[in-house]
Amino acid sequence: MEPKTNAVVKLVGTDGNALAIISKVKTAIKRSDHPELAAEFQKEAMSGDYDHVLQTCMDYVDIR
């Protein structure tokens, strides 16, 4: 399934803290072709556990 935006995020070398990941992905979404999805992404990502955060990231951006 294609991500909801055209943003590409490199998570290798990023702090593994869930909030740090959410922040990095949210910033990328704001710079993407669908910046209006940034708040929706954050709300969805924060609604579950760590695995849910990662799955939500993959739903919205291309993770490298």
What are the tens digits of pLDDT across the range 20-52? 999 999 999 999 999 999 999 999 999 999 999
Pair 42, 29: CB distance under 8 Å: no
What pLDDT was estimated at residue 32?
Answer: 98
Residue type, 18: A
In this predicted structure, the answer to whether residue 13 has a pLDDT above a threshold of 90 is no
What pLDDT was estimated at residue 8?
Answer: 98
| Whole-angstrom distance, CA of residue 12 vs CA of residue 1 | 22
Structure tokens at 3: 């991500």
Pair 45, 29: CB distance under 8 Å: no
Residue 44: C-alpha distances to residues 1, 12, 53 (Å): 18, 22, 8
Mean pLDDT on 9-19:
91
